[in-house]
A and B are shown apart, each in its own frame.
Chain A
Amino acid sequence: MPAYIGDAGDSPAPADPSSSVPGSGLRSAMAPARAAGRAGAVAALALLWLLVCGPGDSGCHLLTVADLFDRVIRHSGRIHSLSTTLYAELEKHFPPRDNELGKPARKCHTSGMLTPNGKEYAQKIPREELTHLILKLLQAWKEPLSHFNQHIEHHQELPDDSLSKAKQISNMVHELKTGVEKVTEKMQSMGIISNSLNGMASSEGTGLSISNEANMMSDSDFIHCFRRDSNKVQSYLKILKCRIMPENSC
């Protein structure tokens, strides 16, 4: 159902056209990128489409929640690996400003999000909240990533490999979000989690401000932040899976 994919391009456009955010010009420029991203996402998700059946389809092979979870977990793992590689490359090309890792200047735009920073916390919060958190994170990175792609293309000194990686990351994040949404749907339909995903709407609003902050960062910081968040997403997904289905390879 294309409705899922259409999600990618929906959010920014109907938003404030009169915004004086310096990134407005950028936003308009993002539209074609978004379109391209959409096309890529469609193609990338084709496989996921075929295998994830809608509620109305009776002829297709129904995947279990466990399988879905495995898929998304694997996907998130791939994203994390890619980002790590890209981060290493960026570190090589752009030596850190002060040659120090924990410079206070580096502040991720998602730092404001309250996320559990340990196992116990992740296990304590309700499933719905955890799921919502995952989605929020993914959502928060959608736009900055695309912006980053656009931005990084101007860097001539970077190898093409890095550029392609960046592009790939943004695509994959989009797919991952879609996948997680699907899983959420399934869980809700199965009654594993409740339907109280009321935080989704708010995430759209915060995405804008977050993306503004993301523009301030340097490339390597940006990727560093993203790398961390991708690890967060992966860990949350794993914990969520083992909470829901403790018997499946947990």
Chain B
Amino acid sequence: MEAFLPITPCSTARTVQPDAPVNLSLETKTSASITYLWAKWSPPPLAAVSSNSHVYHYELRLKPEEKEEWETISVGLQTHYKVTGLQAGVKYIVQVRCMLDLGEWSEWSSERNIQIPNGESPPEKPTIIKCRSPEKETFTCWWKPGSDGGHHINHTLLYSKEGEEKVYECPDYKTAGPNSCYFDKKHTSFWTIYNITVRATNEMGSNVSDPHYVDVTYIVQPDPPVNITLELKKSVNRKPYLVLTWSPPPLADVRSGWLTLEYELRLKPEEGEEWETIFVGQQTQCKMFSLNPGKRYIVQIHCKPDHHGSWSEWSPEMYIQIPTDFRVKDMVVWIIVGVLSSLICLIMSWTMILKGYRMMAFILPPVPGPKIKGIDKHLLETGKSEELLSALGCHGFPPTSDCDELLIEYLEVEDSEDQQLMPSHDNPSKNMKMIPKETDSDSGRGSCDSPSLLSEKCREPRALPSALQTQDVRAVQENKGAKRSWETQCIASEQEALLFNNESTKSSTWPAVQLLPNNQLPVFAYHSTVEAHTIMLSTTNVNISSVLVGNEEKHQSRYPVAEAVHDNMEKQREMEYSTTEQTTVQVKQNRHNDKSPFLNPKLMDYVEVHKVRQDEEPTVLLKHKDNNGKTEKYTVPGTSKEYTKVSTVVDHNILVLMPDSRIQHTPVSQEPAMETSQNLQQGQAEKNMSYCLTAPSDCKRETSGSEYMDPSSFMPSFK
């Protein structure tokens, strides 16, 4: 705004005429019979901006209305002024104007009129506010006086009754307080209309209020009820209910029937918003049901006359706390229910977890597979198409080869032990140590018994099987007994092992079959067709061997393996196979039935059938090196070693076994030549069996330990 103001920096006075003041208000005040005139105004509007720098001087003038001369009063800087010395009863005209700092005076403001009141004037009309009867026997009227007009005012209440002309004055001004009139019993008439007026009188005159007609019957407003009691009682089913009792107000005469009161109560929860109002009627007690336990309620009661009147004030608030209905019995029941249900859930979940599969199978039974007579499901499972096809009647498919590689997977070449064994064959201690190492690692080696087990049991000098013994002249003879004993022992052990290993995949190891790992021995690959047998033999060598052995001994039929299966199918296979194909083993068995003596049926004879050829007489030649050095290899069952390593295969039908590393190579080398001739004769099966019984002449640990003979030593001899 300042930008718009013309500023003359050098001049302090404005030559512009200011505007006149505004909002001039006049007021008369009378005190102590002196009337003052209060005049107030506001500065001109535009001046507010520059009020700091500009100061206004005001001037006021007034004159009575009839007169012509103005009385001017200099006010100064204020915006109000009190004028005295005014004539009462005269109407004055007032104006103000302002000036800025020795500048020009503004115009006079608009006129304002004010009537100076007379020092004394009649009071204004009072007004009767209300009349009330608290008990329908007396009543009181209150009025409100008007302005007093400067003097003390006397009020008089005058009344007249209906039908009467006489006017009475209020009997009692004091009892009910100022500006009130109390009508006592004597002066109260019912069923009559009172005409009540109030007269205000002062020195100047009086004024009468408007008449007020009242019939006392209809102006009853009782006091609130008293003696309110709240009581909690328990009903039959242990639910609490509230019993309220109260008394009528003390002044009300209910006993005579003159005044009949009706009650109404209201309650709400302490934190609730709305009141619930219940009309109770004329009774002085009430039962409240269905209150929320645990909550705090506020209760109030009021009353009114039964016919026309006003409701009393509400009684003071009463609080009641509803106790929580906590029953131990209920809680216990709920606790039990909860525990039981949780237990049931646990049990169900566990059964689901443990037997879920079965339940699923029960609920959703598996789709049955095809059932073809004569076909074993396992054929399909294992994927051995050969058996399947053979079962179906197709032979020779898929084509089999004599490759050794096919059997590679089933043979394990053990490196460490042999190496150690071989050089240390003359080191008994080492060999001793090694033996325990020959624990099965389930290399597919058939074992009648775990080597460790066998070795432990066969520590005594073993007696070669009788069959072996016969061939083993020198060594065996001495140890015959021992060997036999050993045999028995071993057999016993093997038997146990046999039984024990029936089902174990880790079958008892064929003591006779141990390849020298360090040598590049041809891995005996099992012919696929023979695999089953071999495997079976190897895995369940115990059974087979025993059976085979048994057969030999007992001159049993050619179905030794029938009993030696750990699986029915294999059994069948064996049977079939034996019948049709005349396994080497069987043939050998048959041939050498008489040779069985040394072959203890109980011995776990496990010979890994290297190869079986159907066309010729299947031959499994196991070179067994008798520690005696005897050429009779087959009579070497009594080696303490569990394994006799098959060193090599000769001519595809000769298994060269190295029963004892201690055995001289030369004899070993010699043996094959002899054996080739003899072994064929002899029960190769026996040998196979006997290999389990590898009984070195002395069943020495060191010899037995060195079950591995270095094939390289004699290999060339064969070739």
Contact = CB atoms under 8 A, between A and B. Distances in A.
Nearest to A101: B213
Contacts of A122: 258
A-side interface size class: 20 to 34
Which of A115, A239, A246, A250 has the most C-beta atoms of chain B within 10 angstroms of its own C-beta?
A250
Contact of A242 (B136, B185, B211, B256): B256
B282 interface: yes
A77 B306 contact: yes
Interface string A174-203: 000000000000000000000000000000
Contacts of B215: 101, 228
A119 B256 contact: yes
A80 interface: yes
Which of B192, B194, B257, B260 has the most C-beta atoms of chain A within 10 angstroms of its own C-beta?
B257
Given A102-B193, A119-B137, A231 B257 contact: no
A249 interface: yes
Nearest to B190: A117
B217 interface: yes
B188 interface: yes
B256 A118 contact: no
Contacts of A242: 255-257
A34 B189 CA distance: 36
B191 interface: yes
Contacts of A246: 255
B178 interface: no
A107 B256 CA distance: 30
A19 interface: no
B192 A117 contact: yes
Contacts of B256: 119, 123, 239, 242-243, 250
Interface of A: 77, 80-81, 84, 100-102, 104, 107, 111, 115, 117-120, 122-123, 228, 231-232, 234-235, 238-239, 241-243, 246, 249-250
Which of B188, B217, B255, B258 has the most C-beta atoms of chain A within 10 angstroms of its own C-beta?
B258
A118 B193 contact: no
B213 A231 contact: no
B308 interface: yes
B-side interface size class: 20 to 34
Contact of A239 (B189, B211, B258, B306): B258
Contacts of A118: 137, 185, 188-190
Given A77-B307, A80-B307, A111-B163, A119 B192 contact: no
Contacts of B192: 117
Contact of B195 (A81, A102, A235, A243): A102
B258 A102 contact: no
B254 interface: yes
Contacts of B254: 250
Contact of B258 (A81, A101, A111, A235): A235
Contacts of B195: 102
B162 interface: yes
Interface string B164-196: 000000000000000000000100111111110
B456 interface: no
A84 B136 CA distance: 19
Contacts of B412: none
Contacts of B213: 100-102
24 contacts: A80-B307, A84-B308, A101-B193, A101-B215, A102-B195, A102-B211, A115-B191, A117-B189, A117-B190, A118-B137, A118-B185, A118-B189, A119-B136, A119-B137, A119-B258, A228-B191, A231-B307, A232-B191, A235-B190, A238-B257, A238-B258, A246-B255, A249-B282, A250-B256
Contacts of B576: none
A122 B253 CA distance: 14
A167 B374 CA distance: 113
B168 to A, nearest CB: 14
Contacts of A117: 189-192
Nearest to A116: B190
A175 B128 CA distance: 42
A101 to B, nearest CB: 4
A250 B308 CA distance: 20
A107 B163 contact: yes
Interface string B594-608: 000000000000000
B304 to A, nearest CB: 14
Given A117-B189, A117-B190, A118-B189, A239 B257 contact: yes
Given A84-B308, A100-B211, A101-B213, A120 B185 contact: yes
A200 B400 CA distance: 146
Given A111-B163, A231-B191, 16 more contacts: A77-B307, A100-B213, A115-B191, A117-B192, A118-B185, A118-B188, A118-B189, A119-B253, A119-B256, A120-B185, A228-B191, A231-B217, A235-B257, A238-B257, A239-B258, A242-B256
Contact of A250 (B162, B255, B307): B255
Contacts of A101: 193, 213, 215
Interface in B243-298: 253-258, 260, 282
A244 to B, nearest CB: 10
Interface in B355-383: none
A176 B96 CA distance: 80
A77 B260 CA distance: 11
Contacts of B194: 102
A35 B137 CA distance: 43
A242 B137 CA distance: 17
A102 B188 CA distance: 16
Contacts of A123: 256
B366 to A, nearest CB: 86
Nearest to A248: B257
Contacts of B136: 119
Which of A77, A100, A102 has the most C-beta atoms of chain B within 10 angstroms of its own C-beta?
A102
Contacts of A102: 162, 193-195, 211, 213
A74 to B, nearest CB: 11
A81 B307 contact: yes
B134 to A, nearest CB: 14
A100 B215 CA distance: 13
Nearest to A69: B257
A250 B307 CA distance: 17
A241 B257 contact: yes
Interface string B200-244: 000000000001010101000000000000000000000000000
Contacts of B282: 249
Closest 3 CB pairs of A and B: A242-B257, A238-B257, A101-B213
Contacts of A249: 282
B125 to A, nearest CB: 17
A115 B189 CA distance: 11
A13 B137 CA distance: 43
Contacts of A81: 307
B375 to A, nearest CB: 103
Which of A80, A81, A122, A231 has the most C-beta atoms of chain B within 10 angstroms of its own C-beta?
A231
A111 B189 CA distance: 14
A241 B185 CA distance: 23
A234 B260 CA distance: 11
A77 B306 CA distance: 9
